[in-house]
Amino acid sequence: MIHRRLLVSTVAALSLSVTAATRPAPEKFDIDTGHSYVGFNVKHLGVSNVKGKFNEFSGSIMLDPTDITKSTVSVTINAASIDTNHERRDADLKSANFFEVDKFPTLVFVGKRVEKTADGMIVIGDLTIRDVTKEVRIQFELTGPVAAGGRKRLGAEGTLKINRSDYGLKWNRLQETVAVVGEEVRIELNIEANTPRPPASGNQNQ
């Protein structure tokens, strides 16, 4: 009986070792900023949406090909690259009224895990703006990966709504009882990411 139990335990251990050895490792996809967009919109005087974007950001996705729920993502945004196509407004957004970019130069999102729901997939992670970090949930759609140009490429589109005051972006004023800037900010993400370029083949005839 003891020998049988030992045999069963040994077989189980070997099976786990083989599974771990054959399971593909997570693949790293770097964000292609030339084909990606990080934008937002917020209400102005309660009647229209002011749209903006960040022109400089970087990051990567670690995609687990066998279990997407174990995938992770990290994105760093240059706060000073904010662009609403209005020079005076952009200067105000960079000031202490909002992002205070001299003191807090980056916005950072670190996705910790992915959940599958009836409505699609959600990445859960920590969003840091200024000196405030809060856990957020971003619903997204994933396309790919596909092979193209000797690399793997994938796309991800997602949206997120936050209350800007929760992150210390509290400036506001009233015009005839109407708030100039809305509290809710809708963040829009359209990301393309690629595996690293294959190394260039050198001249073998030395």
Residue 3 pLDDT more than 60?
A: no
Residue 176 pLDDT more than 60?
A: no
Residue 180 pLDDT more than 80?
A: no
- What's the one-letter identity of residue 16? L
Query: Whose structure tokens read 């929760």?
Result: 166
CATH number for the domain whose boundaries are 24-194 = 2.40.128.110
This prediction has a pTM of 0.83
Residue 8 confidence (pLDDT): 46
DSSP secondary structure string for all residues of 137-153: EEEEEEEEEEEETTEEE
Give the start-to-end residue ranges of the domains of the chain: 24-194
Report the range of poorest mean pLDDT among 70-79, 165-174, 176-185: 176-185
Task: Give the tens place of pLDDT for each residue, 97-108.
Answer: 999 999 999 999
Residue 178 pLDDT more than 80?
A: no
Task: Name 186's bridge partners.
Answer: 41, 161
Task: Give the tens place of pLDDT for each residue, 124-159.
Answer: 999 999 999 999 999 999 999 999 888 999 999 999
Residue 174 pLDDT more than 50?
A: yes
The total number of residues shown for the chain amounts to 206
Residue 199 pLDDT more than 90?
A: no
Q: What is the mean pLDDT of residues 54-59?
A: 98
Confidence of residue 206 (pLDDT cuts 50, 70, 90): very low
pLDDT above 90: percentage of residues in the chain: 68
Residue 123 pLDDT more than 90?
A: yes
